[in-house]
Amino acid sequence: MPTGVALRDAREQLFDAAERILLRAGPSALTSRAVTTEAGCAKGVLHRHFADFDAFLADLVRDRAARIDGQATALRDAAGTGTVAGNLSGALTDLFGPVAVAIVALITFRDDLRARLRRSGPAGVPVLTEATAMLAAYLTAERELGRIAADADVEALAPALIGAGHLLFADRSGTPPEPEAVRKVVTTVVGGVLGPHRPAP
């Protein structure tokens, strides 16, 4: 393989290569050699941009977790439209796509990566932590609009939705759950606070 392949955006191409390996073969197949081979570049390219392979993986996780910001904005903007259960079901389906599920599996699989991420970021599992904050912000907005109960505990509901959603989508080799299955989980978790309510004072 040529060793002088020029990468226009080496970091992103290496991230994309790692993502393809994760989706195709799972976290156990992810090595620095596998990533550079997949990206079509020399192994040294990775080490020119990252201190070591765990640093590369940590930046990959942070990069993919940061993409939730766009989803969070769209979900927050949806407050007051459609139905709360429908919005939450759609958010969970978008969130737990194959990449996010694979990233969570990677974090679980690699102890050193998990420890590195804990030293440099908030508590919890990246991707899931950001996703929980996304749902909490949305539920807070709906509570302020009176579409869920004023005493709804969004700080408890959000992680419950994320945990239940992750269990639904976690089988990387299986087919995604049916929309009705996702909606059933959502309504089970938040059903007690749904319905027209007076906005919180």
Question: What is the structure's pLDDT at 120?
Answer: 72
* 83 has a pLDDT exceeding 50: yes
One domain, residues 76 and 156: yes
CA pair distance 201, 198, nearest whole angstrom: 9
Q: What pLDDT does 136 receive? A: 97
Q: Residue 24 domain-assigned?
A: yes
Q: What is the tens place of the pLDDT at every residue in 126-152?
A: 888 889 999 999 999 999 999 999 999
pTM of the predicted model as reported, rounded to 2 decimal places: 0.83
Q: Which residue shows structure tokens 């269990």?
A: 167
Same domain as 42, residue 82: no
Same-domain status, 101 and 183: yes
CATH of the domain at 33: 1.10.10.60
45 and 90, same domain (yes or no): no
Task: Provide the token pair at 91.
Answer: 């958010």
Rounded to whole angstroms, how far apart are CA atoms 71 and 105?
A: 21
By percentage, how much of the chain surpasses pLDDT 90?
Answer: 54
Report residue 174's pLDDT band, with 50, 70 and 90 as the boundaries.
low
Residue 87 lies in a domain: yes
Tokens of residue 174, six digits = 């299986």
Q: Helix axis angle, 128-145 relative to 84-95, nearest 10°?
A: 170
- Together in a domain, 38 and 81: no
Are 87 and 160 within one domain?
yes
**Same domain, yes or no: 92 and 121:** yes
- What confidence score (pLDDT) does residue 4 get? 43
Residue 63 domain flag = no
Rounded-to-integer distance, Cα 187 and Cα 88, Å: 9
Return the pLDDT at 114. Answer: 84
The domain that contains 159 carries what CATH number?
1.10.357.10
Domain holding 136, by residue range, is: 68-193
How many structural domains compose the chain?
Answer: 2
pLDDT at 80 over 80: yes
